[in-house]
Structure 1
Amino acid sequence: MAAESQSETCTRRPSNFQFAVASRIEFLDAGHWDNVTRAASVFMSRRFLSGAQDDFVGEIVRDFAIVYDAGLPVAAVATQSFNVSGEQLFDQKSQQRWTLSPELKRKSLALVKRRITMCGNVHTWGPDGVAFAPGCDRAKVWPGVAECLYRIRRANRLHGQTDYVIVKDLFEGDREPASELAAFRYSPLETEPNMVLAIDPDWRTFDDYAASLTKRYRAAARKVFKPFENESFEVAAIDDAHAEADDLYRLYQSVAQRADVCLFSLQQSTLPRMSDSLAEDFVNIGIRQDGKLIGFVTVIRDGDTAVGFYLGMDYESNATLPVYHRLLLAVIEQAIRWRCRRISFGRTALDAKSRLGCKPEAAHVWVRHRVPLLNAFVQQILKTVSHDEPPERNPFKDAT
């Protein structure tokens, strides 16, 4: 009862924070936003958001906000609001693991067929919806973020009644301060881990990385490289994303259409736009066979992290050539070239990425339903949702 009373109190009274909320990033104070996000992800930067905010107009409603404490900016918030069905939100593998009867599962999915306000980015992974000013006490600021999300949800009623608010994706270091959200009836949900490869500072080339592998895994990497050493193949950066936008989009769609969950596939203009806005921190690496593009991977430099982001490939080519695995190795090559300290490979193909030396980085989201009574039901549903875990594997010589 005490916890329930605390939750009731928190959700029914304003905090002592102040807010500036806008539908476009340029409407907010640029200096305040930059000050709060200077140590945050590149996906929270104005240069990225200013271009991304025009994607999916009519499908995604975007809001941006700065949270102030006594007039000082302490947090930046970026949200996306959209309609989604239960089948989109939970993939078939997740549904099969639910310990529910088929009828209850069907009704549960129907309940999820609602409108979502997401504090984060539907196309990225990681804490790309909220950033905190350096040096602030995050636990004390999270209640301000919770009120900010409430204000955004209420302001967007003309676009449709929001049913769920989701804060994604938080990592282990965020767990304790973000637990303040529980007082506002948010519930945590573990998701697939982010696969991360730590880069040894001594690696100056891909050969250095390969030399650190055990004989078995080094041979596997060489086997992936071998077919592409033929003169009919070229693996290199794509210089002009605008000129090759059609091929990039075609290859991306061939992958997106096979994904278990793809709420919004990219638009044809997305990759060229990202190339423009991120400049030297963005590269498309392509594989060509006799001049024809048969695969590509996008790599983004996010501080000292290289993000292996979008990927596209011709599946007929991949059936006879290790196109996918060569693209993964291209990400490692680029990260070493940039002198990054780690690579974020995302949450798919856990087995393949573990073979590269990736380790899982635990991730979770916080979910809240608009109707208090349904929050208890949502909590029970979330307890039945599980996710894939990567195999334990260490391909390096120093394995113990």
Structure 2
Amino acid sequence: MASPQAMEMLFYYNTLGKYTYSIYNSTSALPEGWDNIACENIFLSSSGLAVLEKAPPENMECHYVGLFGNGSLCGIAVIQYLDLARVATFKNRERSFCLKDYLLKRFSSHVLFIGNNTLTGQNAYLLNNGISETEALALLHMALQDLKKEYRKKGRRIHLLAVKDFNEKEMPDFEAAGFKDYYKFCTQPNMIFTIRPGWESAEDYLSELNTKYRTQHNRARKKAEGIIKKKLNLDEIALLSGRIHELYLTVAEKAAFNTFYLPQNHFEIMKQELNDNFRFYGYFKNEKLVGFNTLIKNGCDMDTYFLGYDEEIQKEKMLYLNMLYDMVAYAIKKGYKRIIFARSAMEIKSSVGAKAEDVYGIIKHTNPLLNLFMEKFFTYFDPKVEWKARSPFK
């Protein structure tokens, strides 16, 4: 009988001479040294990946790839499968039938990609000096193809293959690594707030805002009177999980485009796995939870994660804007260099000082004929968001 670890490992191939790769289905099977490489990015650590294993969106499956040079681990990566037919990807509140949703599910619903769809930014892979990026990507391209075949055996035909998200400086030479006929795309930007040298407190930040945006800050703070903010521990998150999920869905379902929804126990599992590196803040009015936001400590960066709020309280108390100011104040106080605000709500994030960073990826349809029209298809399906960048500093 095969060992449990063998059952959790899909493939082991000798490729590219001295380089090999393994694909794992479980974080319990990850090879020794994985977390040594993942120390640069908590989302690729065994604990970060365990969150996706224990509390994933119901339409997502995760696979973990170890890259080896002469038998030594020299690279790690995550590959995800998404079944878009299981979610209402596009919203059309005026009509019960959405053509975009129908076409996507009919021709492009099964997606396999290198990266983490719950995040924005390069959270796809990490390498040490034992392998070049081109060699690593060539291995990952093979792994992607092998997983595509594996899903076909299960009766699920993969429609789209992709890699995401890279800023302009990070964008590798995919062509040299064997990614032929892929379309390069750019979607909504990653909003990044940079902590300026010399800032030691929120007052330092406020002193550099121009009059208009300092007035905005003061007005928001005054509006929030009566709201109590509290850091929640694991037991409190578990106790309030139903209400937390309700508030999360209030925000998530407002989006014009969704590829997944988090399960109710997601934040509880994240707290279990990441401990103090995951911060959950609840906002209460008259002792009732009316909003929350989440932060993840990731080296010199502080990543914002998902949030939720009561729509009426948000309007009355300017709750979302106050959350942003709280995040800025916390990051400055704790000495972080950047806040990764991710996608969505670009204009209001820019009003507190975040700047847009374009992120790119590549994508390919497995039907050669449809792939000829990938640029037109992507343009048709990609939701356009009009927004105006703000400049809050003097």
Q: The TM-score by the shorter chain falls in which range?
A: 0.7 to 0.9
| Deviation for aligned residue 1:263 | 2.1
Q: Against the structure 1 CA distance between its residues 47 and 197, is the aligned structure 2 distance closer, same or farther, given a 3 Å change threshold? A: same
Counterpart check, 1:328 vs 2:324: yes
Q: TM-score, normalised by structure 1?
A: 0.84
Describe the superposition over 1:77-122 as per-residue Cα deviations: whole angstroms up to 9, x where unpaired: 2122132149955677xxxxxxxxx99x798646544311122222
What is the CA RMSD across the aligned residues, in angstroms? 2.7
Over residues 178-215 of structure 1, what are the superposed CA-to-partner deviations in whole Å (9 max), with x where a residue is unaligned? 45356433221111100001012322221221111111
Is 1:248 the counterpart of 2:250? The answer is: no
- Taking every aligned residue pair, what percent have the same amino acid on both sides? 23
Q: Which amino acid aligns with 1:21?
A: I
Tell me which residue corresponds to 2:21: 19
State the Cα distance separating 1:278 from its structure 2 match: 1.2
Q: Does 1:338 align with 2:340?
A: no
Query: Do the aligned partners of 1:355 and 1:395 also contact (CA within 8 Å) in 2?
Result: yes
Q: 1:37: Cα distance to partner?
A: 2.3
> What does residue 36 of structure 1 align with?
37
Distance 1:192 1:119 in 2: 18
Give the TM-score taking structure 2 as reference length.
Answer: 0.85
Classify 1:377/1:91 alpha carbon distance in 2 versus 1 (closer, same or farther; 3 Å). Answer: farther
Task: For 1:125-274, list aligned pairs within 5 A.
Answer: 125-134=120-129, 136-159=131-154, 160-180=156-176, 183-228=179-224, 230=225, 232-239=226-233, 240-274=236-270
Deviation at 1:152, TM superposition (A): 1.9
Pick closer, same or farther for the CA change 1:257–1:110 going to 2, 3 Å.
Answer: closer
Change (3 A) 1:64 1:117: same
Alignment correspondent of 1:97: none
CA drift of 1:297 comes to: 0.6
Relative distance call for 1:213 and 1:166 in structure 2 (3 A) is same
The amino acid of 2:150's aligned partner reads: A
- Structure 2: give runs of 5+ residues left out of the alignment: 1-14, 93-97
* Partner SS state of residue 373, structure 2: helix
Q: Corresponding residue for 1:119?
A: 114
Unpaired segments of 5 or more residues in structure 1? 1-13, 93-101
Give the Cα–Cα distance (whole angstroms) in 1 for the partners of residues 354 and 184 of structure 2: 25
- Aligned 1:61-72 pairs, distance under 5 A: 61-72=61-72
- Give the Cα separation in 2 of the matches to 1:111 and 1:151: 23
C-alpha spacing 1:354/1:58, structure 2 compared with 1 (3 Å): closer
- Higher helix proportion (structure 1 or 2): 1
SS in 2 for 1:367: strand
- Equivalent-residue separation in structure 2 for 1:21 and 1:114 (angstroms): 23
> Is the 2:186–2:360 Cα contact (8 Å) retained in structure 1?
yes
In the alignment, what sits opposite 2:273? 277
Letter in 1 for 2:316: T
Query: For residues 43-91 of structure 1, what are the alpha-carbon distances to aligned partners after superposition, in whole Å with 9 as ceiling and x for unaligned?
Result: 1111111232022486322211112233333321212213214995567
Q: CA deviation at 1:298?
A: 0.5
Partner of 1:99: none
Distance 1:309-1:146 versus aligned 2 partners, 3 A rule = same
Q: For the residues of structure 2 that align with 1:379 and 1:303, how far apart are their CA atoms?
A: 36
Taking structure 1 as reference, are residues 91 and 191 closer, same or farther at Cα in structure 2, changes over 3 Å only?
Answer: farther
SS state at 1:167 partner: strand
Partner of 1:50: 50
| Residue-by-residue CA offset, 1:218-277 (whole Å, 9 max, x unaligned) | 11111111123x3x3212322332222222112111111212122221111100111121
Q: Which amino acid aligns with 2:28?
A: E
